[in-house]
Amino acid sequence: MVSQTKRPRIVIIGAGFAGIRAARRLSRAGAEIVIIDRNNYHTFVPLLYQVATGFISPETVAYPVRNWVRRIPHARFLLAEIQRLDLERQQVIADGLSLDYDYLLLATGSQTRFLGVPGAPEHTFALRTLDDAIALRHQILWSLEQAVRTGDARYLVFVIVGGGPTGVELAGALQELLVGPFHRDYPELDLSQARILLVQSGDRLLPSFPDPLGGYTLRQLRQRGIDVRLQTRVAAVQPNAVELSDGTQLAAATVIWTAGVLADKPELSRPDDWDGAARGVAGHQKVVVEPTLQLARYPNVYATGDVAHVQQNGEPLFGVAPEALQQGDAAADNIRRQLRGQSPQPFDYFDKGRAAIIARHAGVAYLLSKLKLSGPLAWLLWLGIHLYYLPGLANRSALLTSWLRDYFFRDRAYRQRLTPPSATANRAAVRPGSEA
């Protein structure tokens, strides 16, 4: 499809944090903007675990892309699956449609990396897409019902793989769900026998945070009865069972994989072209970009978010939402510079900090690379940050209402199991396109 106007065409693949941020930043560039995604909504990934544990509805974290697009001059949205890119011909092939571009921004996000663990792709639940979160919620509810019906203890065992923010936050939320709403919903079950096991390969939790905050997190989880195994790996996953690296065999109906990501790169017309187009492919299969976020061989192509390997001060960035937002801004600014005949500028990430929530009144935060917070203040800060960044007034209102309901009544409204569980639990093989 050739542009019907004389305006330069900018194609953005991915309606996640970086893609949407870039599109909005380009609103005054005077260019035609085409946003392509396999979903017609933007997913607020940091709150997916709250969908999975019944805090909030799926719609709360899904914001319609067209709500943004209609406010951007000369922009349109295309719901399609990317089949391949032809960087030489400057074409995007999506659902059989060929789309020419002058500038291309890749913001395709990531998919789950199973690290070669046998059985993990088939028998675990991921938590990277909205479908993943809904499937996990259904599985948790199904497990409780099966425990009532059969009395089998494995239905009350939940194994979480990965001790980063997602794993920690999920473990805390699941524990509160078991001792709160589920304790009232299932009087026939002795939920004191329920078990949450958090497996972390490293020697501490939250490795992207300073050591003291990881230690605080470990103590808080263990005080709540969560079994945290450090320096332990999952060796294999079987239907209803998991094997750990220390030889432990554990019967568990629900295994959740939050460890490891893999860049979700579109296919190219020339199979070896990623190495030729960029400065190689780094760990997690991310595209190594120039400091300006451009591909080395194709200066009109940018990569941002989880698909891009970006370094600062010789160290790779962590791949979190604030980085994607700033990269979206930087890529958009550089495209605008190119449109004006100017040179792109290197990306410089300003690290405002990071925060994670553990449970009620317990959180950790590391601000401006110097200030360490833990406890209720960090918990409140986390709540405020996520309420601020969640797009849409209606979404924020729904989120705040759900949080207040849980806080004052210790009740979670979204405990309905609307569809049956998948025969093979994992949904992560479906490549996400809306994350960053």
For 364, the enclosing helix (H) or strand (E) is: strand 362-367
CA separation for the pair 39, 156 (Å, rounded):
34
CA 378 to the chain's CA centroid: 21
**Residue 59 annotated among the catalytic residues of the structure:** no
Catalytic residue among 81, 88, 169, 243: 169
Q: Is 111 exposed, middle or buried (0-12, 13-18, 19+ CB in 10 A)?
A: buried
Q: Residue 126 CA to chain centroid, in angstroms? A: 10
Buried b (16+ CB within 10 A) or exposed e, 392-406: beebbebbeebbeeb
Q: What are phi and psi of 251, to 5 degrees?
A: -75, 125
Strand order in the sheet with 9-13: 75-79, 32-37, 9-13, 103-106, 301-303
Q: Is 165 helix (H, G, I), strand (E, B) or coil?
A: helix
Residues 6+ apart with CB under 8 A from 143: 155, 156, 158, 253, 254
Hey, which residues are catalytic here? Answer: 169
